[in-house]
């Protein structure tokens, strides 16, 4: 899969790219929301991992803009949240994300969490219900 990692924290970015590559995925990076929207449009990734706290706009706004791109209506977008945001599930889903995981990022379990969210969202789409 071609995965777009949107993350302004260098340590998290490095960790996510390392894990993705280890599982045979191609990892592209974006450090801001604006860059995320531009790369989503030009690269058409198969999956987007979206940090919520970014320097320009937040990850929810970046997700809303990405969802407006004709080629990005159904791409899985998974939010990366801080502990404080984790209660805001509705807000994250309403913005267009398929799910989220919480920081700190655990390299041993992260791919499992990603797979679970992707499979869950595919099932939801085919049954016609998002919740």
Closest approach of Mn ion to the CB of residue 52, in Å: 7
| Nearest residue (CB) to Mn ion, 110 versus 121 | 110
Closest approach of Mn ion to the CB of residue 9, in Å: 5
Alpha-carbon gap, residue 102 to 111, rounded angstroms: 13
Closest approach of Mn ion to the CB of residue 14, in Å: 14
| Nearest residue (CB) to Mn ion, 85 versus 121 | 85
**C-alpha 1: how far from chain center:** 13
| Nearest residue (CB) to Mn ion, 53 versus 57 | 53
Closest approach of Mn ion to the CB of residue 7, in Å: 6
Query: Which ranges constitute the DSSP H helices of the chain?
Result: 10-22, 33-43, 59-67, 89-94, 110-127
| Nearest residue (CB) to Mn ion, 19 versus 121 | 19
Backbone angles phi, psi at 57, to 5 degrees: -120, 165
Residues near Mn ion (CB under 5 A): 8, 51, 53
Measured in residues, the chain has a length of: 131
**What's 8-37 look like in SS3?**
CCHHHHHHHHHHHHHCCCEEEEECCHHHHH
């Amino acid at each position: 899969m071609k995965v777009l990692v949107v993350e302004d924290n260098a340590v998290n970015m490095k960790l996510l790219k390392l894990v993705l590559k280890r599982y045979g995925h191609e990892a592209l990076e974006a450090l801001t929301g604006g860059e995320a929207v531009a790369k989503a449009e030009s690269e058409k990734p198969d999956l987007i991992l979206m940090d919520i706290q970014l320097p320009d706009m937040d990850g929810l706004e970046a997700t809303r803009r990405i969802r407006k791109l004709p080629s990005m209506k159904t791409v899985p977008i998974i939010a990366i949240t801080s502990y404080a945001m984790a209660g805001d599930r509705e807000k994250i889903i309403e913005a267009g994300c398929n799910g989220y995981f919480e920081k700190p990022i655990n390299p041993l379990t992260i791919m499992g969490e990603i797979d679970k969210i992707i499979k869950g969202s595919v099932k939801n789409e085919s049954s016609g219900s998002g919740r």
